[in-house]
A and B are shown apart, each in its own frame.
Chain A
Amino acid sequence: MGWLLDPFAVPFMQRALLAVVLLAVVSGVLGTWVVLRGLAFFTHAVGTATFPGLVMAGPAGVAAPVAALAAGTGFAALTARLAARRGAGGAGADATIGLLLIGALALGAVLASDVFTSGAGVDQLLFGTLVGLRAGDLWLAGGVAIGAVGAGAALGRTWLATGFDPASTHALGVAGAWGDRLLLGLLAVAVVAVLPAVGALLVTTLLAVPAATARLWASSLRSLVCGAVGVALVDGVAGLLVAWYLDLPPGPAIAVVSGGLFGVVALARAVLQRRWRAA
């Protein structure tokens, strides 16, 4: 068991572990809604949109999370508005999101290479630096974890009813439009909280993949949320160990582990289903 525990004797790995635990809560609670409401691409795009904000934060003298939040929420509001104007349902207009996503990535790349010489490495902004976390990153993760749990408890029914059957939301007495706005806003904040860990390009590693994995077997909302928290924990800890022993950046390591676990669970499910059908 030494190989499992030894890496976490180092302070920066302890901080990384704490971040994984806090972010697993965010991942489970909000990831559930990302997956159920089909917001994975939107979340990925909001993450990408924070990149130019992060590049400009240093030279502009703004705290990185503030710049990221401004860029992320600005992007979310813009896509929601453009999608609504084109008559599509809310933030689901993939083509609009895709175009804005590319624009944000290109803008970030141009700013990083030509305009500013950013102190932080571009690769860290894009892929995270879980082993270089500061106290502020942990406080933010903790705050967002508490906020996500509170919002999930208070608004879960609204999000569920709105997603399940949008035509009935009004007749059911559920404030669907407000609930959705809060969900999108909360997602933007959650994106900012996971940025230090997995970077602008890998936010869905935490905010969609664990819940998508749990959804393969979850039979109720509660088992989905709890399963997603568990999967995110496993992904995070395993990714940290892989990164430690193979000397890899932790963000991409967690992404590979979580993608791999999803594949294994999906395969196991398919095999089991075939066997049940045969029996």
Chain B
Amino acid sequence: MSGAAISAHGLAAGYTTGRPVLTEVTFTLEAGQAVAVLGPNGGGKTTLFRVLLDEIEPAAGACALGARAAYVPQTERARLDFPLSAFDVALMGAYARTAWWRRVSKGDRAAAHAALERVDLTDRTSERFGALSGGQRQRVLIARALVQDAGVLLLDEPFAGVDATSEARILALLDELRAEGRALAISTHDVEQARRWDHVLCLNGRQVAFGPPGEALTTEVLQETYGAELVVLEGSRRAVAVHHHDHAHHQ
């Protein structure tokens, strides 16, 4: 398939009634590229992912994907108390292609093993998912996306609750996936880290900016993205945004 991995044009999206949570999103991401999606909580990052995953309809405009998309959630959002091994979780990536009356095929079980090997967790396949570290769980969830055979990965704050060593490991893994021609969209609060990707997309209810980090990440853009409440800590990696309690947009 040729063309963009993700393309959005005049995209707007929201929930049931009321005005859209997110408007005016227009950008293109090629295969093998990564985009950091920045914005405050409730700024539309999750909504963008949900509309790209075809979970909600665009309220206006259009978007298209050049390959199958997978969603990689935050590991804390998953039930850590379930009696599931790392392998069981990776195997979920094959559920969509397994008919309800069949068992998961041998080929798919092999694919799950291969994916866990890929994320360097071969020695942890039978460990309980909830007993793994945050970084290991994140890698299991990336393995699940690989089992889905996804060409587009939408990662929801993949470095939240992950220690520095694991973060470096996940970054290296994401670079590999990018080199294979997969497209990545990475929602994050880490402005400094966002600079290492090909593009940044700044959202605050609408698209504030899109482009290579060097051009797009200006102080004006960051202030507009996070509102006037942005506190830039000198020498810190993070732009700390002080939020009002804004829970209208989260489901």
Interface residues of A (CB under 8 A from B): 36, 153-155, 157-158, 160-161, 163-165, 167-168, 170-174, 215, 218-221, 223-224
Residues of B contacting A157 with CB < 8 Å? 92, 95, 98, 100, 104
Chain B 56-80 interface 0/1 with A at a Cβ cutoff of 8 Å (1 = within): 0000000000000111010001110
Smallest Cβ-Cβ distance to A171: which chain B residue: B71
Q: A167-B77, A220-B85, A221-B84 are in contact. Are A155 and B100 (CB under 8 A)?
A: yes
Residues of B contacting A171 with CB < 8 Å? 53, 55, 69-71, 148, 154
Point out the residue from A153, A164, A168, A170 that lies within 8 Å of B84, measured CB to CB: A164
Residues of A contacting B70 with CB < 8 Å? 171
Chain B 122-146 interface 0/1 with A at a Cβ cutoff of 8 Å (1 = within): 0000001000000000000000000
Given contacts A153-B101, A164-B82, A168-B71, 16 further A-B contacts (CB under 8 A): A36-B79, A36-B82, A158-B100, A160-B92, A161-B95, A164-B84, A165-B77, A167-B77, A170-B53, A170-B55, A171-B71, A172-B92, A172-B96, A173-B95, A174-B96, A224-B83
B224 within 8 A of A: no
Residues of B contacting A160 with CB < 8 Å? 82, 84, 92
B88 within 8 A of A: yes
Point out the residue from B71, B84, B104 that lies within 8 Å of A167, measured CB to CB: B71
Residues of A contacting B53 with CB < 8 Å? 170-171
Chosen A-B contacts, 20 in total, with CB atoms closer than 8 Å, are A154-B101, A157-B92, A157-B100, A158-B95, A161-B95, A163-B82, A164-B82, A165-B77, A167-B73, A168-B73, A170-B54, A171-B69, A171-B70, A172-B96, A172-B148, A173-B96, A174-B95, A218-B83, A220-B83, A220-B85
Residue of A173, A218, A220, A223 with most partner-chain B CB within 10 A: A173
Are A221 and B88 closer than 8 Å at their CB atoms?
yes
B43 within 8 A of A: no
Q: How many residues of B contact A (CB 8 A)?
A: 29
| Nearest 3 A/B pairs, CB to CB | A173-B96, A171-B71, A165-B78
B93 within 8 A of A: yes
B89 within 8 A of A: yes
Residues of B contacting A161 with CB < 8 Å? 92, 95
Distance in Å: Cβ of B144 to nearest Cβ of chain A = 8
Distance in Å: Cβ of B34 to nearest Cβ of chain A = 18
Distance in Å: Cβ of B105 to nearest Cβ of chain A = 13
**Whole-angstrom distance between the alpha carbons of A184 and B85 in the complex?**
26
Residues of B contacting A167 with CB < 8 Å? 71, 73, 77, 156
Distance in Å: Cβ of A93 to nearest Cβ of chain B = 15
Residues of A contacting B156 with CB < 8 Å? 167
Are B96 and A165 closer than 8 Å at their CB atoms?
no
Residues of B contacting A164 with CB < 8 Å? 78-79, 82, 84, 89, 92
Distance in Å: Cβ of B8 to nearest Cβ of chain A = 17
